[in-house]
Amino acid sequence: MKINTIIFDLDGTLLNTLDDLTAAVNHALGAFGLGALDVNRVRRYVGNGVPKLMERALYYIDTGVEPDLDGGAYADKAKLDACLAVFTEYYDKHNADLTAPYAGVAQMLDAVKAKGLKSAIVTNKYDGAAQALKAVFFKSVDAVVGARDGVRPKPSPDGVYKALEILGADKTRAVYVGDGETDVATAKNAGMPVVAVTWGFRDRDVLQKLSPDFMIDAPSELLPALAAAGFIDL
């Protein structure tokens, strides 16, 4: 069956947000006299939303031990909430300072639109920031669903289903595109094929172990890969 909809992850897939996320994490930590994290550590901690990012950062700062990325909540909720408030205030003002689309992404999205395909962004980034970044960088994308009340974060398929509802689309005619473990799990939970991209926040060997349906190394490869699978006509 041909597809008519593509759902994209945001951070690490369409946008390189890592430097701005790192700056916001370190601003929040610094506001409480805590040490800073390097960009490669922040890269490992992203993917499950800002609250999880700050939990992992605080756990490492407090213990000097790498957090279990699948583990439970950070114990000091008051400290976490305070850091999240500072992070959000800063990130709302600085989320596009160093952020930019990956090379070739704009052309990929233009090609998706030219094909008449519907598109949406589904992200664990809180909805206000997700909407703001879409407005700056991705006006051609039809919808964005960020972290919001009533939508469980990825890898729950809630955000994907909400996006499909907004677009009037069906999951049987959609594919999901993302760059990490959470994205592959989200697509599988939604019952959709998944395209893993290697230019984002996870290395190729990590992605290969997740057994995505497709892997691509450049945005220009997306539509040819879907065409080769019979999902679209070029």
Share the mean pLDDT of the chain.
96
pLDDT of residue 73: 77
Task: Give residue 74's pLDDT.
Answer: 84
pTM higher than 0.85, yes or no? yes
Q: How confident is the model at residue 75 (pLDDT cuts 50, 70, 90)?
A: confident
Its sign, for the CA torsion 29, 33, 39, 42, is negative
Per-residue pLDDT for 175 more than 90? yes
Q: Does residue 30 carry a pLDDT above 90?
A: yes
192: how many CB neighbours lie within 10 A of its CB? 21
Per the CB < 8 A criterion, the answer to whether 1 and 22 are in contact is no
User: What pLDDT band is residue 234 in, cutting at 50, 70 and 90?
Assistant: confident
What are the beta bridge partners of residue 15?
11, 101
Q: Read off the DSSP letter of residue 65.
A: S
Q: What percent of the chain has pLDDT over 70?
A: 100
Give per-residue pLDDT as tens, 117-149.
999 999 999 999 999 999 999 999 999 999 999
Encode pLDDT of 78-118 as tens digits. 999 999 999 999 999 999 999 999 999 999 999 999 999 99
The whole-number average pLDDT for the span 24-37 is 97
Q: Is 62 a catalytic residue?
A: no
CB atoms under 10 Å from CB of 219, counted, come to 23
What structural domains and CATH numbers belong to the chain? Answer: 5-16+100-228 (3.40.50.1000), 18-94 (1.10.150.240)
Within 10 angstroms of residue 107's Cβ, the number of other Cβ atoms is 12
Chain-centroid distance of CA 194 in Å reads 14
Q: Which of 9, 11, 20, 142 is catalytic?
A: 9
Q: What is the pLDDT of residue 151?
A: 96
At residue 1, the pLDDT reads: 84
Q: What is the pLDDT of residue 224?
A: 98
Helix %, strand %, coil % of the chain (to 5): 50, 15, 35
Residue pair 179/9 in contact by the 8 Å Cβ criterion: yes
Position 197 pLDDT exceeds 80: yes
Q: How many CB atoms lie within 10 A of CB 234?
A: 9
Query: For the stretch 172-188, what's the b/e string if a residue is b when 16 or more beta carbons lie within 10 angstroms of its beta carbon?
Result: ebbbbbbbbbbbbbbbb
